[in-house]
Amino acid sequence: MHYYFITGTDTEIGKTFVTCTLLHAARAAGLRAVGYKPIAAGAELIDGTWSNEDARCLQQASSPGFSLAQINPLCLREAVAPHIAAASEGVVLDVPPLLAGFEQLAAQADCVLVEGVGGFRVPLDDRLDTADLATALRLPVILVVGMRLGCINHALLTAEAIEARGLALAGWVANTLAPRMNRLDENLEALKARIRAPLLGVIPHSPAGPAAVAAEVRLPGAL
């Protein structure tokens, strides 16, 4: 079974795009695959229902048969840090229901990719953050590195935080954020030399969708 927690070096670095790309790669390998976005902040009212754009992308990239409510059980309306949005809406963010949602998907799929919210340590309330959710899930982690100036520091600090929680870093994906990054190859080499986990793929800057670039990445293991 291929169950992973997907985190990133920051927000807006293509975590959803990479997760969708990995889902397409898993499906191409013959796996029943689904994305899980336990918490999303930022929603639109579509046909009378509030939904998150990232969650809708995950549903489209997943194998058929999974509802949006299964993929994203907790959808907060305001596009701010989840603990701020939850407090504003009177919502209590609690880990056990989110774990139950994962277990339901895991019972129906060969591959479940759990996408976090923001970076690795985004607060959920006064006590918990997304690192606590990853720890409770006990899943190996895939790190999405947004390739831009400062990415080496951000990636190494995040990898260190993942390992400090006792979680396995299963691999990392380099996502090219701009048409041109100065010294991209040198940055990639610096990261490969310092991150003790395999590089799972380099996604080029491209207007093509996740399905078109799925061949650029692989899940850890035999895929």
> Active-site residues: which are they?
37
- Measure the CA–CA gap between 29 and 156, rounded to whole angstroms: 31
The DSSP-derived string for 109-171 is: -SEEEEE-SSSTT-BSSSS-BHHHHHHHHT--EEEEEEESTTHHHHHHHHHHHHHHTT--EEE
* Among 213, 188, 212, residue whose Cα is nearest residue 203: 213
- Measure the CA–CA gap between 16 and 53, rounded to whole angstroms: 10
Q: Which residue spans within 9-52 are E strands per DSSP?
A: 33-36, 39-41, 44-46, 49-51
CB 25 within 8 A of CB 218: yes
Strands 169-176 and 44-46: unpaired
Dihedral of the alpha carbons of 71, 93, 22, 170, in degrees to the nearest 10: -140
